[in-house]
Chains A and B, each alone.
Chain A
Amino acid sequence: MQKTILLLKTLLLSTSQRNIFRYTTDQTKKKRIIAGLIGAFLLYGMIMAYGVLMCIGYGALGLTGSIPVMTALILSSLAFLFTLFKTNGYLFHFREYDMLMALPFSPGTVAVCKFFYMYLKSLPWYFSISIAMLIGYGYYAKPAVAVYLIWIILSLILPLIPMVIASFLGFLIAKISSGFRKTNLIQTILMMGLVIFGFSLRYIITSVMKNEQVEEIINLTAQTTDQAAEWYPPVRWFADAVGKPAVLPGLLLIGTSLILTLIVFCFVGRSYRQINSALMSHAANKNYRLKRQSQHSPAQAIAFKEYRRLVGSSAYMTNAAVGEVLTVLFGILTLLFGFERIVLTVTMDAPIDVTILQPAIPFLIYFFIGMVSTTACSFSLEGKNYWILQSLPVTKEEICQGKMLFNLYLTIPFMTFGILCMCISARVALINTLLYVILGTALCAFSTAWGAVCGIRFMRLDWENEIEVIKQGTAITLYLFPNMFACMILTVLMVILGMRIDHRMLTGIMTLIIAFFAWLSYRRALVLAKKL
Chain B
Amino acid sequence: MSEQTMLEIRNFSKSYGGSHKAVDDISLSVNRGDIYGFIGHNGAGKSTTIRAVVGVLDFKEGEIFIDGHSVKAEPIACKKITAYIPDNPDLYENLTGIQYLNFIADIFEISAAEREEQIRKYAGQFEITEALGDLISSYSHGMKQKVAIISALIHSPKLLVLDEPFVGLDPKAAFTLKEIMHGMCANGTAVFFSTHVLDVAEKLCNRIAIIKKGKIIASGTMEELTEGHSLEETFLEADNAENNTAA
- A→B interface (CB under 8 Å): 24-27, 282-290, 292-298, 300-302, 304-305, 308-309, 311-313, 383-385, 387-388, 390-395
Contact = CB atoms under 8 A, between A and B. Distances in A.
B80 interface: yes
Interface string B124-141: 000001111111011000
Q: Which 5 A-B pairs have the closest CB atoms?
A: A312-B94, A25-B17, A288-B133, A301-B106, A282-B138
B79 A392 contact: yes
A24 B17 CA distance: 8
Given A285-B133, A287-B133, A300 B138 contact: no
A388 B91 contact: yes
A18 to B, nearest CB: 17
Nearest to B54: A391
24 contacts: A24-B17, A25-B17, A283-B138, A288-B129, A290-B98, A290-B123, A290-B129, A292-B116, A293-B102, A295-B110, A295-B111, A296-B106, A298-B109, A304-B103, A383-B90, A385-B91, A387-B51, A387-B86, A388-B90, A391-B55, A391-B56, A392-B107, A393-B107, A394-B76
A295 B106 contact: yes
A297 B106 contact: yes
A337 to B, nearest CB: 38
A316 to B, nearest CB: 9
A301 B103 contact: yes
Given A25-B17, A288-B131, A309-B94, 8 more contacts: A284-B134, A284-B138, A287-B130, A288-B98, A290-B120, A295-B106, A301-B107, A391-B54
B60 to A, nearest CB: 13
Given A295-B111, A295-B112, A308 B119 contact: no
B171 interface: no
A284 B131 contact: yes
Contacts of B96: 288
Contacts of B228: none
A301 B105 CA distance: 9
Interface in B124-163: 129-135, 137-138
Nearest to A287: B130
A309 B93 CA distance: 8
A340 B75 CA distance: 58
Interface residues on B, range: 35 or more
Interface of B: 16-18, 51, 54-56, 76-77, 79-80, 82, 84, 86, 90-99, 102-112, 115-116, 119-120, 123, 129-135, 137-138
A93 to B, nearest CB: 11
A395 B77 CA distance: 11
Contact of B119 (A26, A293, A305): A293
Contacts of B97: 288
Contacts of A290: 98, 116, 119-120, 123, 129, 132
Given A26-B16, A26-B17, A301-B102, A308 B116 contact: no
A387 B90 contact: yes
A394 B94 contact: no
B94 A391 contact: no
A296 B129 CA distance: 22
Given A294-B112, A385-B91, A388-B92, A395 B106 contact: no
A135 B102 CA distance: 58
A288 B105 CA distance: 19
B94 A311 contact: yes
Contacts of A390: 54-56
Contacts of B104: 392
A192 to B, nearest CB: 18
Contacts of B17: 24-27
Given A25-B16, A301-B103, A385-B92, A391 B79 contact: yes
B107 A298 contact: yes
B194 to A, nearest CB: 15
Contacts of B115: 293, 295
Contacts of B103: 301, 304-305
A383 B94 CA distance: 14
Contacts of A27: 17
B56 A293 contact: no
A347 B79 CA distance: 57
A294 B116 CA distance: 9
B95 A308 contact: yes
Nearest to B135: A282
Nearest to A295: B112
Contacts of A300: 106
Contacts of B77: 393
B90 A393 contact: no
- Kindly name the residue among B77, B107, B131, B133 whose own CB sees the greatest number of chain A CB atoms within 10 A: B107
A6 B203 CA distance: 49
A304 B77 CA distance: 24
Contact of A391 (B84, B92, B110): B84
Nearest to A24: B17
Given A282-B137, A305-B92, A298 B106 contact: yes
Contacts of A282: 134-135, 137-138
A99 to B, nearest CB: 15
A304 B56 CA distance: 23
Contacts of A297: 106
A157 to B, nearest CB: 39
Contact of B76 (A25, A313, A395): A395
B108 A384 contact: no
A440 B131 CA distance: 43
A463 B99 CA distance: 25
Contacts of A309: 92, 94
Contacts of B137: 282, 312
A313 B17 CA distance: 34
Contacts of B135: 282, 284, 312
A385 B88 CA distance: 11
A286 B130 CA distance: 5
B18 A25 contact: yes
B141 to A, nearest CB: 13
Contacts of A24: 17
Contacts of B105: 293, 295
A290 B98 CA distance: 9
Given A298-B107, A393-B108, A387 B56 contact: yes
